[in-house]
Structure 1
Amino acid sequence: MLQLAFVNFRKGSYILVEDKAESDRFYIIQGGKIQITKETEVVAEEGGNILGPGDFIGVVSSMSGHSQIETAVAVTDVTLISVRRDQFSELIEKNTPVAMKIIYSFTRKMRYLDEALTRITLKKNVESDITHLFTIGEYYAKLTKYNLALYAYYHYLKNAPNGPYAAVARERFMALKSMGVHADPSLLEPKSGEMSRVYPVESMIFCECQPGMELYIIQKGQVKITKIVDNNEVLLAVLKVGDMFGEMALLENKPRSASAIALEGTQLLAVNRQNFNQMVSTQPQLIARLTTTLADRIWLMYKQLANTLITDPVGRMYDMLVIQLEKLKVPFQAGKAYTFDFGPMELANMCALPKDSLNRVVTEFLREPIVRLVDDRIAVSDMVELSKQSAYRKKMLNIERSRAEGRGTGTNSTVLW
């Protein structure tokens, strides 16, 4: 039986504090009002920063197991319902509307964080025009990845049969087929009722801008998530067994924001809207896992966006190292060294630093006393010192920014849109 605790806070009380260690519980507001603030407002909060009855706080930190990304202060006396992380599956069963409200709010938040991150790091708006499918087909055709090109042409023609590039796409599609490029109907148009899907290596699972009606769980193999930006393939993630992807298109009924390609022979469990609705009542643990996945991605996207607002390049690299440690949930121990699985140039690219300054910034970064290279990988001599240096640099930047703005003190209130 689901037993939830009620917690009361007086007006002015701090309920959550940004960057504090993760909590094993989140809160649903039963009565009163709460103000949400962030040291760095990376995007405008949907619905504003004042929350009331029915809203919830602390879910991202609780479900992801990461540090808090916001501060919550009671504007009035408030009564909260406390929900432990291990109670979420039961909450889905007993109070499905509340659980689904959390999930749908997560997908909306992921959508606008993804759009902001794409604008800042890739210098590009998220593509939603169906003609981008034709562009993707052209890109892969030039690389002689003909099966990927065939998929993109096919879905462009399906969704825009009279589009501006329809004649060319049709010609390209038929030419590829005449060359013997395999067009397995089960890959081009999987049957919606078949939950188990098998994809050969280098086959397209779905394409950026394509309408989406399913999410996927990897049962075997690996999948890469990519975007085509300025005629280049940008690798966003490599997913492995147990990972989920494609949930935003399913839950929001919007086009795919990226492409998914099998890196090796891959088996997937496909979940459509009907299956998803059934799983809410029959497999709450799976829905809880989805919520954890979404929370983890939101936490990382927020941290990445906040990182882009750090104007000190070396400070940005310090911050990104801390983010990577927190992402992997590596415990910070004083005097404990750590070696990352990437080098300084990869780190600079993670930070979306300008290409014309990479060499200079990397050289400066490698002069830092706690940083060294081990087999071309970054190693830090003390994880706690790394965290302190990162926090100090951000604090100094905020002080400088406040002085420049003539406010004396304050926090960075830059908003990306």
Structure 2
Amino acid sequence: MSETTKTGGLERFLVTFKQGEIIFFEHDTEDVAYMIKQGKIRLVKIINGVEKFVATVGDGDFFGEMAILANNPRSATAIAIEETQAYKISKTNFELLINANVTIATKILTLSAQRIQRQRRQLQILLLNDDETQVLDALLMLYEQLEITNKENVTINITPYELTTWAGVAMDKAKKILATYQENRRISVFPDRIIIQNIQELQRIVQARRKSVSDTDDSTT
């Protein structure tokens, strides 16, 4: 990692991360946040030995802010998807920045709220304890994040690998599930995206499976 010492504004805090470089690990304790100037960062968690995709952040986005806002250890590992330039901001400078800029403060609060909501939604998926349903529900979660009303031929810009990390399902199992649904013409799988033919159909399948799991749990108690 190299540091640029340009004068003026935030430029003196600018750092560069190489593709594949780890910025910080989950559970690290560090009181700095980052704002991306240019590039992309992937945030992941390890749950039960499986890497879980949390989010991808890009130009203008903040990450690592909860270490400052809540004095918490890192909740995820941050990895540079490509060469990335970001402003490394200490707690003191972070507070000065948000106090001086209402737009940035609002954006940080919005991003933090979205991440908390996303983590709760992911927990719902993991509790299903069924590989196929977890993959389908992960697709539905990603659709929900698009905030669109269209329910046919919906494109989800995610790789099959990223989908498996959302779902908490091993790659080989997820590939078989995706292949089956592609053969049935319910989805179309591409290297960089997945197209869902009919959202409502997937919703019905997941709802039925959730009910089945709930009924099974009730019968065993």
- TM (normalized to structure 2)? 0.74
Residue type at the aligned position of 1:372: I
Offset at 1:255? 3.9
Offset at 1:343? 6.0
Whole-angstrom CA distance in 2 between matches of 1:311 and 1:269: 40
Residue matched to 1:197: 14
1:379 maps onto 2:202 in alignment: no
1:240 maps onto 2:23 in alignment: no
1:304 maps onto 2:122 in alignment: yes
Aligned pair count reads 214
Q: Deviations over 1:205-255 (max 9, x none)?
A: 743254312111112222334568999987654321011111122223344
Cα RMSD for the two superposed structures: 3.7
Residue matched to 1:140: none
Offset at 1:322? 0.6
Residue matched to 1:403: 219
More strand by share: 2
Offset at 1:306? 0.7
226 and 240 in structure 1: CA distance in 2 versus 1, 3 angstrom threshold: same
> Does the Cα contact within 8 Å between 1:199 and 1:205 map onto a contact in 2?
no
Whole-angstrom CA distance in 2 between matches of 1:362 and 1:324: 15
Q: Which runs of 5+ in 1 are unaligned?
A: 1-146, 148-183, 188-192, 406-417
Residue matched to 1:314: 132
Residue matched to 1:80: none
Q: Deviations over 1:359-415 (max 9, x none)?
A: 654555456x5613354654322122322332232123222322332xxxxxxxxxx
Select 2:89's aligned residue among 253, 271, 291. 271
Q: What is the SS of the residue equivalent to 2:68?
A: helix
207 and 340 in structure 1: CA distance in 2 versus 1, 3 angstrom threshold: closer
Residue type at the aligned position of 2:199: M
Offset at 1:270? 3.2
Q: Deviations over 1:260-304 (max 9, x none)?
A: 344444332333222233344322221111111011111111111
> Does the Cα contact within 8 Å between 1:200 and 1:266 map onto a contact in 2?
yes
> Does the Cα contact within 8 Å between 1:370 and 1:382 map onto a contact in 2?
no
Identity across matched positions, percent: 26
> Does the Cα contact within 8 Å between 1:226 and 1:237 map onto a contact in 2?
yes
Residue matched to 1:164: none
Question: Which has the larger Rg?
Answer: 1
Offset at 1:344? 5.5
204 and 312 in structure 1: CA distance in 2 versus 1, 3 angstrom threshold: closer
